[in-house]
Amino acid sequence: MRLITLNLFSSLTILLLCTSCLVTDDHFSRLPNGSWRGVLKLDSRPVSSNPKGEPLPEKLNLKFDEVTDGELPFTFEITYITEDSFVMDLINGTEKIRASEIYFGRDKYLAKDTFRINFPTYDTYLHGLYEENVMEGEWVINYRTEFNKIPFVAKFGQNHRFTQLKKEPMMNLTGSWETEFGLVEGEDPYPGVAEFKQTGNYLTGTFLTETGDYRYLEGTVQLNKLYLSVFDGSHAFLFEGKINPDSTINGIFRSGKHYQTIWKAKPQKNSTLRDPNSITQLVSDQPLSFEFPDVNGNLVSLNDIKGKVKIIQLFGTWCPNCLDETNFILDYLSKNKEKSISVIGLAFERYSEKEKVLPILTSYKTRLMIPYPILWAGSYNKKEASKVLPMLNGITAFPTLLILDENNRVVKIHTGFNGPATSQYEFFKRDFEESIEKIINISNK
């Protein structure tokens, strides 16, 4: 079997996008139904803020013998819905993310089967060639201008994530860990809380931060090393760590090809972060006011939206934590139809061109069947976004949730979103519901 090489990728991109080069036929039936193991091949490169250019493993004296350096593994399943159509389910711990926008055909010039798997919510896709139970190509991130393509390989019939080794773990990592990220020169450290659950060698969990959680992580513990990863079409996170004799952990965190940093953790039963209801604050007691275009380009003012209580979500379609929060809001609205509540989504997007942004917002609204207005508020750059709503002390996280009374006065602000992958999710739901109920009761008096 001869697999494609990297120098074919650019031409492959053109071929896949050129319908005249593709012949759609029944070659899809050769793509096996069942379990697959994929690998994103991240470049092993120093942190940009590291002036000496020392590789991170050397700085931490780390060696990861159980895995190939710079490879981010994930698993997925191919399932046929009909004889001529199939879906891909990405698997991250207990979460499954379905991709159904799949194109499969035949490249006339290379005489090979081709595939393209879109993740339209996040503006990314996998594409490449398929031959003899192997898929090989790239993961493409459309909105990036640098580090926007990562080589990708997947093999049928495998469902382990990092390794099939069973080295006896040095300790059981189950529990809460006080964590600090950004421990490199030139970077501002930021806090986190790790929540791990370990059964034998199998490890799952997540990291909570003040801007949101790091999704459903899955991996393994091998002797004194831990490995965790997630790939959901938007995030490509890889965590590697060394367990020290004093029960602390030093590790490396990679996000795609564009970011690497060092993290450390120590067990802490009651480790906490700042209260998410106190991070973003008002700098003015004036009623909230704004006007932005909707998905059709028509200007909509906050004053146009009637309702005793208003929920304003600051989000981005590119943000999985925002998607988690959006799904929560939709579920809450479906269960509380009798309540007089208005919701507005303010989208801060990666593109600046209206002809690019509005179709993305329309697609997002349609796919999720969002019944409330989605308005384009500007750039996802937090400094630029903060200028749009100067009544706040700044926007530090997407999502951020504002709850307003009937007079458009801000009653509560919740920064970030630690979602269903975390222990804090149930607390958030109770706090949100109690806050809405309290504001409604005050408005009715």
Write the pLDDT tens digit of every residue in 274-296: 999 999 999 988 899 999 999 99
Q: With 50 as the cut, is the pLDDT of residue 6 above it?
A: no
pLDDT at 58: 55
Q: With 90 as the cut, is the pLDDT of residue 45 above it?
A: no
Q: With 60 as the cut, is the pLDDT of residue 309 above it?
A: yes
User: Residue ranges per domain, the chain?
Assistant: 6-156, 175-267, 291-444
pLDDT at 307: 73
> Quick one: pLDDT band at residue 107, thresholds 50, 70, 90?
confident
Q: What's the average model confidence in pLDDT over 4-15?
A: 37
In three state form, how does the secondary structure of the chain look? CCCCCHHHHHHHHHHHHCHHHEECCHHHHHCCCEEEEEEEECCCCCCCCCCCCCCHHHHHCCCCCCCCCCEEEEEEEEEEEECCEEEEEEEECCEEEEECCEEEEEECCCCEEEEEEEECCCCEEEEEEEECCEEEEEEEECCCCCCCEEEEEEEECCCCCCCCCCCCCCCCCCEEEEEEECCCCCCCCEEEEEEEEEECCEEEEEEEECCCECCCEEEEEECCEEEEEEECCCCEEEEEEEECCCCCEEEEEEECCCEEEEEEEEECCCCCCCCCCCCCCECCCCCCCCEEEECCCCEEEHHHCCCCEEEEEEECCCCHHHHHHHHHHHHHHHHCCCCCEEEEEEEEECCCCHHHHHHHHHHHHHHCCCCCCEEEEEECCHHHHHHHCCCECCCCCCCEEEEECCCCCEEEEEECCCCCCCCCHHHHHHHHHHHHHHHHHHHHC
Second-level CATH architecture of 291-444: 3-Layer(aba) Sandwich (3.40)
Between 146 and 52, the higher pLDDT residue: 146
Q: What's the average model confidence in pLDDT over 52-60?
A: 54
Q: 175-267 has which fold?
A: Lipocalin (2.40.128)
pLDDT at 54: 53
> Quick one: pLDDT band at residue 306, thresholds 50, 70, 90?
confident
Between 5 and 444, the higher pLDDT residue: 444
Q: With 50 as the cut, is the pLDDT of residue 8 above it?
A: no
Domains 175-267 and 291-444 alike in fold:
no
- Average pLDDT, rounded, for the chain: 88
